[in-house]
Amino acid sequence: MIMNNELYKLIYAIITILITSGCFGYINYNILEKLTVIVDRPNKETDKKQKIMIFTGVNVGLYWILTTVLNCKISLSILLVLLFDVVGTIWIIKPLIELINSLINKIRNTSGQSYTDNRETRDYIFNTNKYQAVYIFDFENNLITCGWLDYQQAADNNYFDLALMPFSDTMNITYENVRDQIISDNTNSRIIVDFEKKIKIFVKRITPD
């Protein structure tokens, strides 16, 4: 009986160390990052650690309630914490963060400030369920390439490349024609200006039938 009690304490201590060390908190962070709910720049490692610490605190609190207050078994408590990390992150934490961000933007709007978003500009524009016609010009308005967007690498990889499906006909594609199309349908059109690479990317969105 004493051995079982000591073993229980040892297992409890090990699991507690794993949870408090941030292993479980990273699951929350990773899911939210993949859903682009939170985005940290490569040079913002401190912010990332702080968010993981917050999620770790939530996991520790939940684990303590399950094992101490509700007297759940360790194995069941671990499963419930992991379930919360996956399902709870998607159905509870994600909507809560989005609600907070929405309220913040409403406050910014009423005070005359611009809308703010965590996502990189490229992810904000390209991540949509619409078809996207992409036209890339240099700063001298020369066409570099164009086509339907097939794939774009996430901006957090710190590298910018696009996979395009070429148009069947590019004879009449000029800077003036593309610019006029974008201006005439500015609701479904966007322009990315990359001053570092000296290119302008015109994006026209088309809703699938």
Task: Count the Cβ atoms, other than its own, within 10 Å of residue 207.
Answer: 9
CB 40 within 8 A of CB 26: no
Question: Is this structure's pTM higher than 0.75?
Answer: no
Residue 2 has pLDDT above 50, yes or no: no
Between CA 6 and CA 149 the distance in angstroms is 60
Structure confidence by residue, pLDDT tens digits, 115-164: 666 667 777 777 777 888 999 999 999 999 999 988 877 655 555 778 89
Between CA 114 and CA 126 the distance in angstroms is 21
Lowest mean pLDDT among 39-48, 71-80, 135-144: 39-48
Locus of tokens 């040892």? 10
The predicted pLDDT at position 154 comes to 64
User: From start to end of the chain, where are the E strands?
Assistant: 131-138, 143-152, 162-165, 189-194, 199-206
pLDDT class of 186 with cuts at 50, 70, 90: confident
